[in-house]
Amino acid sequence: MNYKTLPIYAAVALLSFSACKNEEKKTTNNPPTEETAQEDSLSQITIEPLIDSPAYSDAKLSLAAPTDNVFPNNTIDFKFEVENYELGAQTAKNEITRTLANSEKGQHIHFIVDNNPYSAHYEPEFSKDFTEGTHHIVAFLSRSYHESVKNENSFVAKTIKVGNSSSQPSDVDFNKPTLIYSRPKGEYSGKDTENLMLDFFLLNTDLSENGNYVKATINGKSFEITKWQPYIIKGLPKGEVQIRLQLLDAGGNPIKGAYNDVTRSVTLK
List of domains in the chain: 50-170 (2.60.40.10), 172-269 (2.60.40.10)
Dump pLDDT digits (tens) for 185-244.
999 999 999 999 999 999 999 999 999 999 999 999 999 999 999 999 999 999 999 999
Closest to 106 measured CA to CA, from 155, 58, 141: 141
What average pLDDT does range 72-79 have in this prediction? 97
pTM above 0.75, yes or no: yes
Instruction: Please give the share of the chain, as a percent, with pLDDT higher than 70.
Output: 83
In this structure, which amino acid lies at residue 11? A
Closest to 156 measured CA to CA, from 65, 230, 238, 75: 65
Quickly state the pLDDT bin for 31 (edges 50, 70, 90): low
Q: What is the dihedral of CA 247, 252, 257, 258, to 10 degrees?
A: 70
Which of 37-46, 99-108, 118-127 bottoms out in mean pLDDT, i.e. has the lowest? Answer: 37-46
Q: Which residues pair with 158 in a beta bridge?
A: 137
In this predicted structure, the answer to whether residue 105 has a pLDDT above a threshold of 60 is: yes
Higher per-residue pLDDT: 248 or 23: 248
